[in-house]
């Protein structure tokens, strides 16, 4: 995986947080996920397919996800329920949709989001498809993005 392919996902995430949540994101250093590491408590995962195949996941601690979706909806969400999972799924959907425009050579299409809930769940990708993790921090707290894209 060419790490340059991660840049559109980083840019899309920063743009989304700036325009929809009025929040500056600080991306950390992207790193290769060497083994299945636990993600945070709740992850929005979107499959990518077309001339390349992969997935993008945004993974949040529960408290951070509640703050972000509350801000997105303009109403306080206190529990893990459909508002939260729909909010996290939509966030992943917007970021994947935005990023794919900058990867037009792959003619990517995106799946519906799946939202994974579970303390210390692990998201593994196929061994042959390296995953890049990008940590982010912002006023809501910390979270991480995981991108895997296998070009043919």
Note the residues at the interface with a second copy (CB under 8 A): 36, 45-50, 53-55, 57, 82, 85-86, 89-90, 109-127, 129, 148, 150
Pick the closer one to a second copy by CB: 22 or 79. 79
DSSP 11-65: HHHHHHHHHHH----EE---EE--S--B--SEEEEEEEESSEEEEEEEEE-HHHH
| Cβ-based neighbours of 89, under 8 Å, separated by 6 or more | 44, 112, 113, 114, 115
Pick the closer one to a second copy by CB: 8 or 25. 8
Q: Minimum distance from CB of 51 to a second copy (Å)? A: 10
SS3 state of residue 96: helix
Pick the closer one to a second copy by CB: 71 or 148. 148
Q: Minimum distance from CB of 10 to a second copy (Å)? A: 20
Pick the closer one to a second copy by CB: 14 or 84. 84
Q: Minimum distance from CB of 138 to a second copy (Å)? A: 24
Nearest C-alpha neighbor of 146 from the set 121, 81, 108? 121
């Amino acid at each position: 995986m060419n790490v340059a392919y991660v840049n559109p996902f980083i840019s899309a995430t920063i743009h989304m947080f700036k325009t929809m949540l009025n929040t500056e994101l600080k991306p950390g250093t992207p790193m290769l996920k060497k083994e299945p590491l636990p993600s945070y408590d709740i992850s929005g995962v979107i499959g990518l397919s077309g001339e390349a195949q992969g997935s993008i996941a945004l993974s949040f601690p529960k408290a951070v996800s509640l703050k972000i979706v509350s801000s997105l909806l303009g109403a306080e969400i206190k529990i893990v329920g459909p508002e939260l999972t729909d909010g996290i799924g939509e966030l992943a959907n917007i970021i994947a949709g935005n990023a794919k425009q900058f990867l037009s050579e792959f003619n990517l299409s995106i799946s519906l989001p799946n939202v994974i809930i579970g303390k210390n769940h692990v998201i593994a990708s196929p061994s042959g498809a390296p995953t890049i993790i990008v940590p982010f921090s912002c006023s809501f707290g910390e979270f991480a993005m995981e991108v895997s894209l296998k070009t043919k």
